Amino acid sequence: MSTKPLAAEFIGTFALVSATCGSALFSAPSGGGLVAVAIAIGLSVLMMAYAVGHISGGHFNPAVTMGLVAGGRFDAAKAPGYIIAQVLGGVAAAAVFGVILNGYLGNGPVTFNTFSAISNNFGEPGGFSALAVFVTEVVITGLFVIVIMGATSPRAPAGFAPLAIGVALMVLHLASIPVTNASLNPARSTAPALFAGGTALANLWLFWVAPIIGGMAGGLISRWLQEE
């Protein structure tokens, strides 16, 4: 397999996680709230789908890759390489923002979040149960993959897939950030958890299992719906 699709997946996921880290670490606590995060993430996928989607397919997400495998849209033999590139792209983006956070020189009240605060988690004081988080992630990731499969169908309007996918991601983040901090994407979850440590890292397994189950379910459902 050519290295260009892998590079495109690395760059696309780097951009997505950069949008996540930048908006969640800095914009959200400065008054943007969850709306700023949802918009940033949705638009990051929209822009990268147009920028490099024609090179790799624009997955930027292990759950999407596995969902497309289940939906018959992607070769399973290529999935491991895509997933590795996605995780590395996400971790690289989080590392950049780790440097940025460590460069803060102010002495006044801190007006930004930490990696722990923006990581996906469950069971913390005031948080939701593992079951609630699991169900949320399965459902929203399944719906996301159904949108991707439908928007990229040969019968769908040409040229609008990135717009539909970006808007869907924005809407699903608005619905799920209060419950799970909105993963839908194991690479996105892995990146800040590695720098947060603690329970974010210990509970990371759920944010691999649930989105991949949801993504594959969405792929199978969409394959049946569209008779592919």
Summarised one tens digit per residue, pLDDT across range 46-81 is: 999 999 999 999 999 999 999 999 999 999 999 999
Identify the sign of the CA torsion 208, 126, 135, 214: negative
**Euclidean distance between CA atoms 182 and 162, whole angstroms:** 20
pLDDT above 70 for 12: yes
CATH no. of 3-225: 1.20.1080.10
Q: Confidence class of residue 1 from pLDDT cuts 50, 70 and 90?
A: low
The reported pLDDT for the residue numbered 126 is 74
CA angle 83, 38, 17 (to 5 degrees): 35
The reported pLDDT for the residue numbered 133 is 97
Instruction: Read off the amino acid at residue 91.
Output: V
Averaged over 87-91, what is the pLDDT? 98
Q: Confidence class of residue 120 from pLDDT cuts 50, 70 and 90?
A: very high
Report the half-sphere exposure of 16 (CA within 13 A, side-chain side): 35
For the chain, domain boundaries: 3-225
pLDDT above 80 for 203: yes
